[in-house]
Amino acid sequence: MTAEASHTPSESHEFQAEVSRLLHLMVHSVYSNKDIFLRELISNAADACEKLRWRALSEPGLIAEGARLAISITAGDGTLTIADNGIGMDRGELIANLGTIAKSGTKAFLEQIADKGENSRLIGQFGVGFYSAFMVADLVTVVSRAAGSAEAWIWRSNGLGSFEIEQADLADAPEHGTRVTLTLKDDAKTYADGFTIERIVKEYSAHVPVPIELKAGEADEKELTDGSALWAKPKSEISKDEYKDFYGTVGGQWDEPALTIHYHAEGRHDYSVLLFVPSMKPFDLFDPARKGKVKLYVRRVFISDEVELLPAWARFVRGVIDSEDLPLNLSREMLQHNPVLDAIRKAVTTRILSELGKLAETDAEAYAKVWDAFGAVIKEGLYEEPERRDDLFKVTRFKTTKSGDGWRSLGDYVKDLKENQTRIYYVLADSPERAAASPHLEGFKARDVEVLQLTDPVDAFWVRTALGFDGKPFQSVTQGASDLDQIPETEKTEKPADAERAAGVVAYLKEQLKDRVADVRASSRLAESPVCLVAPDFGPDKQFEKIMARHEGLGAASKPILEINPAHAQIAAMAKRLEAGDTAALEDAAIILLGQAKILDGEAPDDPADFARRLGRVLTAQLG
Ligand code: ADP
């Protein structure tokens, strides 16, 4: 029996639907810079080499005697081959890895493309991996042999809906690793040109941590990059472009980094750090897994990108941490619970916060961009890491009733406190527009008191547990008896001719609405609206209750307090009627007032049909 005869015949597999969509986008060249396909294939090849280097630490037999892990690019006649002697793929891995999309970022990207119709620029910013080969090739052939396996397999596709899998002759396959051969499209033949390849490698892949060799035409093999670790070089020898290029390589994002943090720590632990804060939001920023992407190296050997080297709120940070102290053969368990890594995590997190703080101080505009992109994520730290809250507050920025187009810090807020103001006021809302329209703000406006507008879902959580800033507690504008009376008004609002009149209305409403509200009281919170609803002094904020009700399907929990504005014409008119003993229309007025308060909160009145009926009755009386 020959070796050929033992081979299984070629088998055809359909691509997962999402892959077909992505391929369609690729082939129709939504992205005009096709060069990026090479950096994606090189990146895969480098990952494969680094994975094998790590595996071979515990299984030295996996790497062929004397082999140097490297990537080789060979330009042929209308073909381009990218080969690595890395970890390789077995049959199952070829089918799973090159037939489906596992990465949540890519999935999220595809969803966004569907939403917006054209976001093609972003393909280049984030990279979509292996499938980008079909931008330049009408046939892609992958021959792969998993390290330690006695079989090799061929994967072949024209990118049109399906791929073929077939067993390969061991004689034609790498000893271990993967060879990707592109049969270039007619309009992409330049990619078989040595100079073109060299230019692209230098531009995008100069700092891949595995050497890259080029074989083009008759010329000798040439080393394009030596695979040395950029983070191990002194800062003074690294240019801005080199940093940027490395950021792209390590982070898989090709925007301009907003912040580069590069240092070497010595002392109890010895390690190097090269981290970047991106300027653009990655697609999977709000992925529920909240996974970080920082890579762990030990003495220049890649160990893992699955270890959480930073807290979840810093998951947007990209880069590497390279330890001198850890053993190379770390098991998975040792990686998860390791005191050295814990200490590094703490120290690096502190450093990131201080660098963010510095940027905020020295370049507010650049920092505003970082905050725009990642503020909602950084604020998760306020809730999850109370011990870092004070440091996090220093870099936290807010939209407030006074921020305009810019951002305000808590430091700014406290500096501008009004006479007698002892609290930091905030309003929770779904959107800045809603926040600005809240009737609860009127009394604050009349006193020129600044109010934080908290519109990210995470805000409701941290603000409840944070004790305050600089000794000033946080207080919701919809909660409790506000101490606004202590703060003098700057814009004079009309005072009630007679405060006792309001007292009459309060008493009347208490009686009429006793089943629906916990209390009724006159308020200094309001200037233009007749009424608003607030939460009891020690209960949860109303907006927070709403969020919880939405998330957990609970009904609204506690009964609200109705506050009335004694200065408002509607209340004054009610007072007059009460004094005259004319209560005919007042029952309707009471229910309508409560409904108004609900509507101002963005909710429906308790019984909308009843509300509408009463409103109709009052209108008819008025118009008739
Ligand atoms: P990504 O690399 O971003 O995960 P790709 O589509 O580029 O996405 O690749 C999918 C998967 O295929 C990789 O995660 C890897 O497991 C596998 N793969 C691709 N190229 C190689 C290679 N040269 N050697 C080994 N595995 C590879």
Top mutation candidate among 22, 47, 101 for ligand 1, by most atoms within 8 Å of CB: 47
Confidence (pLDDT) at 113: 65
Q: What average pLDDT does the segment 48-64 reach?
A: 90
Confidence (pLDDT) at 495: 55
Nearest CA to ligand 1 atom 10: 97
Question: What would the two tokens of residue 254 be?
Answer: 């090709």
- Buried-state track 286-315, b at ≥16 Cβ within 10 A, e below 16: eeeeeebbbbbbbebbbbbbebbbbbebbb
Nearest CA to ligand 1 atom 12: 97
CA 91 to ligand 1 centroid distance, Å? 14
Using DSSP, state whether 82 is helix, strand or coil. strand
Pick from 169, 181, 363, 330: which is nearest to 259 by CA?
363
* Per-residue pLDDT at 167 exceeds 90: yes
CA 93 to ligand 1 centroid distance, Å? 9
Q: Which atom of ligand 1 is nearest to the CA of 129?
A: 7
Please tell me if the CB atom of residue 87 comes closer than 6 angstroms to any atom of ligand 1.
yes
- Considering 92-101, 290-299, 350-359, the range whose residues carry the highest mean pLDDT is 350-359
Please tell me if the CB atom of residue 46 comes closer than 6 angstroms to any atom of ligand 1.
no
Lowest pLDDT segment from 165-174, 240-249, 486-495 = 486-495
Q: What average pLDDT does the segment 464-493 reach?
A: 81
Please tell me if the CB atom of residue 178 comes closer than 6 angstroms to any atom of ligand 1.
yes
Please tell me if the CB atom of residue 124 comes closer than 6 angstroms to any atom of ligand 1.
no
pLDDT in tens, 365-398: 999 999 999 999 999 999 999 999 999 999 999 9
CA 45 to ligand 1 centroid distance, Å? 8
Higher pLDDT pick, 123 / 110:
110
CA 140 to ligand 1 centroid distance, Å? 14
| Sequence-distant (≥ 6) Cβ neighbours of residue 344 within 8 angstroms | 269, 271, 309, 321, 323
The helix (run of H) or strand (run of E) holding residue 157 is: strand 152-157
Please tell me if the CB atom of residue 545 comes closer than 6 angstroms to any atom of ligand 1.
no
To the nearest whole number, what is the mean pLDDT of the chain? 88
Q: What is the pTM of this model?
A: 0.78
* Per-residue pLDDT at 252 exceeds 90: no
Please tell me if the CB atom of residue 502 comes closer than 6 angstroms to any atom of ligand 1.
no
* Per-residue pLDDT at 494 exceeds 80: no
Confidence (pLDDT) at 3: 46
- 482 band by pLDDT with thresholds 50, 70 and 90: low
- 431 band by pLDDT with thresholds 50, 70 and 90: confident
Please tell me if the CB atom of residue 284 comes closer than 6 angstroms to any atom of ligand 1.
no
Confidence (pLDDT) at 474: 94
Cβ–Cβ under 8 Å, residues 597 and 521: no
Domains along the sequence of the chain with CATH: 3-225 (3.30.565.10), 231-365 (3.30.230.80), 499-623 (1.20.120.790)
Q: What average pLDDT does the segment 282-305 reach?
A: 89
- 129 band by pLDDT with thresholds 50, 70 and 90: confident
Please tell me if the CB atom of residue 380 comes closer than 6 angstroms to any atom of ligand 1.
no
- Considering 105-114, 242-251, 282-291, the range whose residues carry the highest mean pLDDT is 242-251
Phi-psi region of 29 (alpha: psi -120 to 50; beta: other; left: phi over 0): left
Nearest CA to ligand 1 atom 16: 97
Largest CA distance in the chain: 113
pLDDT more than 70, % of the chain: 90
CA 336 to ligand 1 centroid distance, Å? 24
Number of H helices and E strands in the chain, helices first, is: 21, 21
Please tell me if the CB atom of residue 89 comes closer than 6 angstroms to any atom of ligand 1.
yes
CA 129 to ligand 1 centroid distance, Å? 7
Please tell me if the CB atom of residue 311 comes closer than 6 angstroms to any atom of ligand 1.
no
Lowest pLDDT segment from 47-51, 455-459, 465-469 = 465-469
Q: What average pLDDT does the segment 159-183 reach?
A: 95
Q: What average pLDDT does the segment 494-509 reach?
A: 74
- 2 band by pLDDT with thresholds 50, 70 and 90: very low
Dihedral (Cα; 610, 611, 612, 618), 10-degree rounding = 110
- 286 band by pLDDT with thresholds 50, 70 and 90: confident
CA 570 to ligand 1 centroid distance, Å? 69
Q: What average pLDDT does the segment 432-459 reach?
A: 89
Distances (CA, A) of 14 to 23, 129, 600: 13, 19, 54
- 117 band by pLDDT with thresholds 50, 70 and 90: very low
Q: What are phi and psi of 411, to 5 degrees?
A: -60, -45
Confidence (pLDDT) at 5: 47
Confidence (pLDDT) at 534: 86
pLDDT in tens, 538-551: 666 767 777 666 66
CA 596 to ligand 1 centroid distance, Å? 58
Cα gap 290→279, rounded to integer Å: 18
- 152 band by pLDDT with thresholds 50, 70 and 90: very high
Higher pLDDT pick, 497 / 578:
578
Confidence (pLDDT) at 122: 65
